[in-house]
Structure 1
Amino acid sequence: MCFLETETMFLFSSSHISYCLGNKKSPLVALVASITSASFVCATCCYFLWRRKLKKKGIMRKIKFREMLLSESATNLSKPGTSSGKGKETRSDIELKFFELYDLKAATDNFSTGNKLGEGGFGPVFKGQLPDGKHIAVKRLSTQSQQGIGEFKTEALLIAKLQHRNLVRFLGCCVEDEEKMLIYEYMPNKSLDYFIFDESRKSLLDWKKRHEIIIGIARGILYLHQDSRLRIIHRDLKASNILLDEDMNPKISDFGTARIFSGNQSEAKTLRVVGTYAYMSPEYALAGLFSVKSDVFSFGVMLLEVISGKKNRASYNSDSPPNLIRHARELWTDGKAFELIDPSIVDSCPTEEALRFIQVGLLCLQVSAAERPTMSSILFMLSNEATIPSPKQSLITPNSDSGTTETTASSINEVTITAPDVR
């Protein structure tokens, strides 16, 4: 197309020169006109060639990034046990759609503040609408984000392979210019913390709906730990990472810090502790050890938060008020666990059922990881009136004989922490 335009301009220039000569203008004028026209034609050609080169470079960068993702995925899945005994996964099995930056700018009104849904450690999240009317959520990696390309790749690879009704649906990603974005289905009811921690909105979730949300979260985690093609440890389960669809069904999101375990692997250790203190198990917060049982601990915190409508606060300070975990344990010991139930749902809540849920939550919060139940046992206990073991009352405190500190550190609920990653 650029050469047609160039040819047209050249003909125009030639006509102009002929006109000048035909009218017996000065040869100098004709020469200047010729040089000007030729320069303009050359500049135009260079411009179009430059644009074509940039476009080709952008396409090659997307192809290279896609190949890198697929290569890393194949490497991970070829390790023993990571495919749950179903054989190696091929590249053709991995569906990773790439969106154009132009289309995402159009969908989000150029990432306008009016379409901004929120902001996390990854970066801002925007609401958008595609030409076919579908609503999407676009996570845009911030240049100041503590999460980087590693977390971006992890989330894109993992969530693309995972399909479950209680996991947020991943639609694709965008890698163009300096932009890196992840695109998800849009969740109109925001996140769980938007409701349960707000006095004006928590009443919208009666006991029946909270019961369904708890069960849905448990099913999603069970899928990650046991039923998916990969064994996934989420490592950042919290109320703000549980999104709610139009029917208030829970969807687990944010897999940037998740890790894949092989079939016979039970735990791992890291020097880079990431997540939110108020939801961290003691062995992970203090020693960097994580496993399916560290996710179980996080689920226990969320379970108590959903029932009580109160946020767990993390503190190393022995003079600070008791956090939700300690408060729940004290009420259970004193036979007053029913006092933990959110007053806004007391009328719609069967006390015995709520007490069973609290008991299961306390089992999840036991200090020893080995004493915590698995997600399959948790789901069974939540769904059936079975005999449930009593939670142990052990609790790590700042003044304990072991010299260790409180299971959670001084941080408000939404602060995400990281430590240097030593490799």
Structure 2
Amino acid sequence: MGGRKQGMEELLPLLLLVLMIPVWTYAMGSDPPLSSMSAPPDPSPRSLPSSPVSTSMAAFTPELPTGGRKHRLDSHEKLLVALIASCSLLGAIILIFMGLWVYHNKFNQKSSKKSCQRSETEKGLSLAPFLGKFSSLKTVSRKSSVAFFENKLLEKASNSFSDSNILGVGGFGRVYKARLDDNKHVAIKKLDCGSQDAVREFENEVDLLSKMQHPNVISLLGYGINDETRFIVYELMQNGSLETQLHGLSQGSALTWHTRMKIALDTARGLEYLHEHCNPPVIHRDLKSSNILLDANFNAKLSDFGLAVTDGSQNKNNVKLSGTLGYVAPEYLLDDRLTDKSDVYAFGVVLLELLLGRKPVEKLAPAQCQSIVTWAMPQLTDRSKLPNIVDPAIKDTMDMKHLYQVAAVAVLCVQPEPSYRPLITDVLHSLIPLVPVELGGTLRAAVHSNN
């Protein structure tokens, strides 16, 4: 197109030149030279008396033939007609060429746009097909790109979603371990989106995670769509969820005191990123131990953003009550009041799980349950009782002063009145001195050498 456009631009001056040649030729040939216009000498002039005035006028006035003026007027009219005709023709040609130029420009833009869209679809590096189907994802930043995975590729990577590859089970589906063609291990969440709620959660999670980047927030690698089934592909977290580590077969034996404090610190950092550094702020709304994932080095990352909302203080009246029993803040459960302090309450419950090794809600009888908050609160503030309720897997392995400090933080986080709870930033700063330097805190080696 560039060569064609340049050729047209070079041709236009040439056309102007060609069109002007007849005009110039006509102008040059219409009037004879001045010498030819002078009257021939009279062979027999009559001698007339002349006055000085007439003699001087004769010197300045050339003699013209009788038809000279008429001939010149005719020539000027013809020249004017020729100029008008040439300009009209020139204008028409210019308009035609401008039209062709505009047409070719538009045609080339459409062609390049189609080729770009085709290449993006083939490479699977754009959200364009996804955004066209789900309008709520149009807020995704243009800088972000999420890979689209074909269903056949995901089936092959997960061995047709074999039960042996199941990592966890959620409300709308399961999470599978998979290996891509480049030998990269990933986790695939397979969602049955037969309901609008499931579709909404899927859209919400992909939308939010595609715009987030933080060491303590799970990384989104891509998504897939197959009829009513949706897929979300994440980085694989080798040590599974905190819930599995604490309440699974190992019963927390792999989690030392300092590892637990590191997990609490990582979780607080992830929440602070959501509350303080996202614009607009994000409320997770479903923080719990099963949504805190651990990599090979027990670095903790927040996951499962299907229920997350932005700027909850403004949207609280439009948010349907959701969450997990035992982690839901009282004000949200009873009055539908949702703020960032709701996440702080859930964090306090997770902190109690790390301290005590108990589930957030435990059955006392077939029809009777007890929350960890209700059970632990009277004993958390009693220094003589606190050491006796600590998880047996870490009992007598920590500095008692640190134990009391963590218990105090947990008590503040689970206060019934949200205004009494600290901001997650304050929680973060209170935990940093309790975590060793090599694990991301400021605790020096000499202090915890025996732990």
Q: Hey, what does 1:295 align to over in structure 2?
A: 343
Q: How does 1:330-409 map to 2 (within 5 A)?
A: 330-335=378-383, 336-384=385-433
TM-score normalised per structure 2: 0.64
- Name which of structure 1's ranges 163-172 and 221-230 shifts more when overlaid on structure 2: 221-230
Residues 140, 180 of structure 1: 8 Å contact kept: yes
Q: Hey, what does 1:257 align to over in structure 2?
A: 307
Which of 373, 387, 396 aligns to 1:325? It is: 373
Q: How does 1:107-186 map to 2 (within 5 A)?
A: 107-143=157-193, 147-186=197-236
Residues 331, 339 of structure 1: 8 Å contact kept: no
Determine the C-alpha separation between the residues in 2 that align with 1:172 and 1:123: 17
Q: SS of 2:176's equivalent?
A: strand
Q: SS of 2:152's equivalent?
A: helix
Could you tell me how far 1:146 is from its partner in structure 2? 8.2
Note the residue ranges of structure 2 that are not aligned, 5 or more in a row: 1-120, 435-451
Which of 214, 223, 229 aligns to 2:273? It is: 223
Structure number with greater CO (CA < 8 Å, separation at least 6) is 1
TM-score normalised per structure 1: 0.68
User: 1:184-203 CA deviation, whole Å, 9 max, x = no partner?
Assistant: 01111111011112463412
User: 1:196-253 CA deviation, whole Å, 9 max, x = no partner?
Assistant: 1246341211101111111011101111111234411000000011111011111110
Q: SS of 1:139's equivalent?
A: strand
Could you tell me how far 1:141 is from its partner in structure 2? 0.9
Q: Hey, what does 2:130 align to over in structure 1?
A: 66
Please say if 1:311 is aligned against 2:376.
no
Could you tell me how far 1:115 is from its partner in structure 2? 1.5
Could you tell me how far 1:95 is from its partner in structure 2? 1.5
Could you tell me how far 1:320 is from its partner in structure 2? 4.4
Note the residue ranges of structure 1 that are not aligned, 5 or more in a row: 1-56, 76-89, 386-423
Q: SS of 1:161's equivalent?
A: coil
User: 1:158-187 CA deviation, whole Å, 9 max, x = no partner?
Assistant: 011111111111101002333311100111
CA distance change for structure 1 residues 315 and 294 in 2, over 3 Å: closer, same or farther?
farther
Residues 360, 371 of structure 2: 8 Å contact kept: yes
User: 1:111-167 CA deviation, whole Å, 9 max, x = no partner?
Assistant: 111222221013011111011110011111125678411110000000111111111
Residues 58, 176 of structure 1: 8 Å contact kept: no
Determine the C-alpha separation between the residues in 2 that align with 1:127 and 1:72: 29
Could you tell me how far 1:93 is from its partner in structure 2? 1.8
Determine the C-alpha separation between the residues in 2 that align with 1:344 and 1:199: 13
Could you tell me how far 1:338 is from its partner in structure 2? 2.5
- Name which of structure 1's ranges 274-283 and 343-352 shifts more when overlaid on structure 2: 343-352
Mark the structure with the bigger radius of gyration. Answer: 2
Q: SS of 2:305's equivalent?
A: coil
Which of 96, 101, 108 aligns to 2:151? It is: 101
User: 1:248-267 CA deviation, whole Å, 9 max, x = no partner?
Assistant: 111110000000118xx467
Q: SS of 1:255's equivalent?
A: coil
CA distance change for structure 1 residues 339 and 255 in 2, over 3 Å: closer, same or farther?
same
Determine the C-alpha separation between the residues in 2 that align with 1:313 and 1:243: 20
User: 1:68-94 CA deviation, whole Å, 9 max, x = no partner?
Assistant: 47853445xxxxxxxxxxxxxx75223
Q: CA RMSD in A?
A: 2.9
Residues 218, 234 of structure 2: 8 Å contact kept: yes
Please say if 1:206 is aligned against 2:256.
yes
Residues 121, 145 of structure 1: 8 Å contact kept: no
Determine the C-alpha separation between the residues in 2 that align with 1:69 and 1:163: 25
Determine the C-alpha separation between the residues in 1 that align with 2:316 and 2:204: 17
Residues 128, 136 of structure 1: 8 Å contact kept: yes
User: 1:13-54 CA deviation, whole Å, 9 max, x = no partner?
Assistant: xxxxxxxxxxxxxxxxxxxxxxxxxxxxxxxxxxxxxxxxxx
1:131 partner amino acid: D
Residues 136, 186 of structure 1: 8 Å contact kept: yes
Residues 233, 295 of structure 1: 8 Å contact kept: yes
Residues 69, 157 of structure 1: 8 Å contact kept: no
CA distance change for structure 1 residues 316 and 152 in 2, over 3 Å: closer, same or farther?
farther
2:426 partner amino acid: S
Determine the C-alpha separation between the residues in 1 that align with 2:364 and 2:283: 26
Residues 122, 139 of structure 1: 8 Å contact kept: no
Please say if 1:277 is aligned against 2:325.
yes
CA distance change for structure 1 residues 343 and 63 in 2, over 3 Å: closer, same or farther?
closer
Count of aligned residue pairs for this structure pair: 311
2:387 partner amino acid: F
1:342 partner amino acid: D
